[in-house]
Structure 1
């Protein structure tokens, strides 16, 4: 299981990588790198994906600098992490605090 403190430690050591593709998604969604860092530092892991390939990942629910809820998917690659995607969660798919998925009908 991925530990949020481990991911925060990667940030502290400057070992969090963001691909050009992910940066483009940030731009399209109006999300900044500092929003992602803020979300990881103040957020919580709400889902674990231990079988993700090539590395386990998790979903973090946190807040942007301006206080909007965002979800961050990050890997744990042993000595570093990678931001896989970041998005504003859909109210139709998540509970009121965006930490539990609604059941599909």
Structure 2
């Protein structure tokens, strides 16, 4: 990763943290208290951008929770159907095995060897 990209990402993280702190009421320094006009504008912009990022994240999280809650019954129904199909397959396999055993009553399982294994 280049130093420009890394710097941009660090700036974005810093701005997001500032916005989260402002939204959480943890920032006590107000932009009016910053003496330098350029620094004040930069500070205000950083807080505004960070606050916007946090706000959008909260909205997106709420939307994701709503979608999960909305689709949860569908997922539960799909899981129930899949479970029933698995039960059907296993019972079919069991009945097929039982039929095979019934169809071949004269087949005897091999006897274990009475010879001791050589070492």
Report which structure shows greater RCO (CA 8 Å, sep ≥6). 1
Larger Rg: 2
TM-score bucket (shorter structure): under 0.3
TM-score by length of 1: 0.22
The structure in which a higher percent of residues are strand is: 1
The structure in which a higher percent of residues are helix is: 2
TM-score by length of 2: 0.21
